[in-house]
Structure 1
């Protein structure tokens, strides 16, 4: 695991080096205007003075993304368990989830704002809607992979649905739930940022909308780089959690 982590860090460092080199070359020439590719020093200044220092921007967006992602994962897991316990509901929940997953965020935003309001509630709801399907699909697939013979053994020994859920279903589904969290870690930030851009007066999305209207390209770049860094950090944290979860469960199996 340590070697894998070191290789990933080297890969990120190499990618950042390429980005910095391309950025420097673009600014060194005259073909790319500063309105499109701003000076790195101005982006760093905007990052410190307008993004990090704004209490109504960075903390709000990441808190909303986290809340929406957690709610989405919980909703997807509950729907997967209900679909497994009541199979007649599985086609309905699966089709509904696929429809919500395929509809673009821009198309969902007006509908979400109508039901949940504008600003923060819309951002959390959007992140929830965009995050629930991976947990629903992965946890549901794990539950349906449980050997029927194992369930029969538990029933013969007097165990009911609660025992099956607690001792078999949830331990089998846990690694898939962590995997779903890893896959949705980036989606939550993007969903919250998009909802704020369209409906909110605070958060990184609202700051992005104002900066774009003022042609403040350094701040736009600073916001995009911040959201990218936050998404990558969340992904790496959940990737580590997934590997540790699978390793611990494999040790328990042995």
Structure 2
């Protein structure tokens, strides 16, 4: 384990300890109703009984989040590449990306459900819609930084546009793609849970909707804390991958 990982784990451990101590103090002596702030041991019991015991809920959400994130990254990157290779389509792809990003997901999810039905497909598609834009925006920005002179030189030498993309665009876009994956991965579980909350009958999102209907606050807290932990874990892993990729590219350029 390198020092960066050790510092990250130490930071998260200290933060978790501080939050846990504050939580115990508030739930014990502040007079906050248990319906709003359940005791930690009740949340832990609910985590074991309601989050882990239905063994399919957590794995289903994680698999959906992973698939939706991967497809979203590929979709966003593909749109950016199409916009670069075919400049006439750039305005169309940019408009499509902005429209899909700006439409509220709470309005879009029911439409997706009407088209494809409840369950896996609707949840994955909704996750894709919520996760593709960072890759599209960041990779597009990187490709626009390809020096115009290099593109002209490639054309004058009889080369095709894809050569400039392969030799210059891909190395410039790779760190941005990794950054997009990092940004998207930390939102993936939340995106999937939002989709499940609105469109699915299983997964953590559906469990959250059921717990809210029953006013089972301890279960709500257990689910939200679980999603937060996985989001932070994904962010931490993505941060280290991002750093390694940038360091590797810096060494190659040196």
TM-score bracket, normalised by the shorter chain, equals over 0.9
1:26-61 Cα shifts (integer Å, max 9, x gaps): 111252111111121121112122212322200000
Distance (Å, rounded) in 1 between the aligned partners of 2:116 and 2:174: 30
Deviation at 1:150, TM superposition (A): 2.1
Distance (Å, rounded) in 1 between the aligned partners of 2:198 and 2:233: 25
- 5+ residue gaps, structure 2, are none
**Match of 1:173?**
173
**Match of 2:201?**
201
1:32 aligns with 2:36: no
**Match of 2:239?**
239
1:60-112 Cα shifts (integer Å, max 9, x gaps): 00110111111111000000011111122222222222222222221221122
1:253 aligns with 2:250: no
TM-score, with structure 1 as normaliser:
0.93
**Match of 2:121?**
121
1:136 aligns with 2:136: yes
- Number of aligned pairs? 254
Q: Please tell me whether the aligned partners of residues 77 and 139 of structure 1 are also in contact (alpha carbons under 8 angstroms).
A: yes
**Match of 1:150?**
150
- 5+ residue gaps, structure 1, are none
Distance (Å, rounded) in 2 between the aligned partners of 1:30 and 1:150: 66
1:196-241 Cα shifts (integer Å, max 9, x gaps): 1122111001111111112222111111011001111111111111
Of residues 172-181 and 99-108 in structure 1, the stretch that sits farther from structure 2 once superposed is 99-108
1:94-132 Cα shifts (integer Å, max 9, x gaps): 222222222222122112212232121111111100111
Q: Give the CA RMSD over aligned residues.
A: 1.8
Q: Please tell me whether the aligned partners of residues 116 and 125 of structure 1 are also in contact (alpha carbons under 8 angstroms).
A: no
3-state DSSP of counterpart to 2:132: helix
**Match of 2:96?**
96
1:189 aligns with 2:228: no
1:150-204 Cα shifts (integer Å, max 9, x gaps): 2233334443233333222222211100100111112221111011112211100
1:159 aligns with 2:159: yes
Q: Please tell me whether the aligned partners of residues 128 and 188 of structure 1 are also in contact (alpha carbons under 8 angstroms).
A: no
TM-score, with structure 2 as normaliser:
0.93
Distance (Å, rounded) in 2 between the aligned partners of 1:11 and 1:20: 14
3-state DSSP of counterpart to 1:34: coil
Distance (Å, rounded) in 2 between the aligned partners of 1:120 and 1:108: 16
Q: Please tell me whether the aligned partners of residues 85 and 162 of structure 2 are also in contact (alpha carbons under 8 angstroms).
A: no
Distance (Å, rounded) in 1 between the aligned partners of 2:129 and 2:19: 33
